[in-house]
Amino acid sequence: MSASARSSRRRWRSCATPRARSRCATTSSRPAVVRVLLAIWATKLTALALRAVGRAGTHVPGRVARRLHPGIIGAIRHPAQVVAVTGTNGKTTVSNLLAEALTGEGLVVASNRNGSNLAAGIAATLIGAVTWTGRPRADIAVLELDERSGKLVLPGLDPDVLVCTNLTRDSIKRNAHPGYIAWILSSALGPRTTLVLNADDLITASLGSDANPRVFFGVDRLPTDGDRPTGTAVDVAICPVCETTLDWDFWRFNHIGKVHCPACGFRSPEADHLARDLDTERSRVTLAFDGDARSAHLINDNIVNVYNEVAVAAALDVLGVPRERIVAAFDRLRPPTTRFAAERIGEVALVRLLTKGLVGVACSRAFEYLASFGGRKTVALSIDEWSERETEVENTAWIYDADYEYLADDSIAQIVVGGVRRHDQALRLAIAGVDPARIVTVASETEPAELLDLDGTAVVFNLHSVHNALTTGDAVQRRLRERLAERAGASS
Q: Looking at the predicted structure, is the pLDDT value of residue 4 above 80?
A: no
The pLDDT value given to residue 125: 96
The pLDDT value given to residue 171: 79
Annotated ligand binding at 239? The verdict is: yes
Within 10 A of 188 (CB to CB), how many other CB atoms are there?
18
Per-residue pLDDT tens digits for 28-57: 577 888 999 999 999 999 989 988 887 766
Spans of all domains in the chain: 79-116+131-329, 340-491
CATH superfamily for domain 79-116+131-329: Mur-like, catalytic domain (3.40.1190.10)
Let me know: does 171 contact 398? Beta carbons within 8 Å.
yes
User: Distance (Å, rounded) from C-alpha 179 to C-alpha 168?
Assistant: 9
Q: How far apart are the first and last CA of the chain?
A: 57
- Nearest CA among 231, 227, 266 for reference residue 432: 231
The pLDDT value given to residue 479: 97
Let me know: does 302 contact 253? Beta carbons within 8 Å.
no
Exposure string (b/e) for 324-353, b if CB count within 10 Å is 16 or more? eebbbbbeebbbbebbbbeeebeebbbbbb
The pLDDT value given to residue 16: 34
Let me know: does 371 contact 363? Beta carbons within 8 Å.
no
Q: Looking at the predicted structure, is the pLDDT value of residue 390 above 70?
A: no
Exposure string (b/e) for 81-90, b if CB count within 10 Å is 16 or more? bbbbbbbbbb
The pLDDT value given to residue 42: 94
Mean pLDDT of 118-136: 95
Q: Looking at the predicted structure, is the pLDDT value of residue 158 above 70?
A: yes
User: Distance (Å, rounded) from C-alpha 242 to C-alpha 490?
Assistant: 66
Protein fold of 340-491: Protein-Tyrosine Phosphatase; Chain A (3.90.190)
Residue 274 has φ and ψ, to the nearest 5°, of: -125, 130
Q: Which helix (H) or strand (E) holds 41?
A: helix 30-52
Let me know: does 89 contact 362? Beta carbons within 8 Å.
yes
Q: Looking at the predicted structure, is the pLDDT value of residue 11 above 70?
A: no
What's the DSSP call for residue 476? H
Q: Looking at the predicted structure, is the pLDDT value of residue 231 above 60?
A: yes
Q: Looking at the predicted structure, is the pLDDT value of residue 143 above 90?
A: yes
Annotated ligand binding at 15? The verdict is: no
Let me know: does 207 contact 186? Beta carbons within 8 Å.
yes
Predicted TM-score (pTM) of the model is 0.88
Per-residue pLDDT tens digits for 43-99: 999 989 988 887 766 688 999 999 999 999 999 999 999 999 999 999 999 999 999
The pLDDT value given to residue 26: 42
In this prediction, residue 384 has a pLDDT band, given cuts at 50, 70 and 90, of confident
Annotated ligand binding at 363? The verdict is: no
E-assigned strand segments in 18-118: 81-86, 109-111
Q: Looking at the predicted structure, is the pLDDT value of residue 27 above 70?
A: no
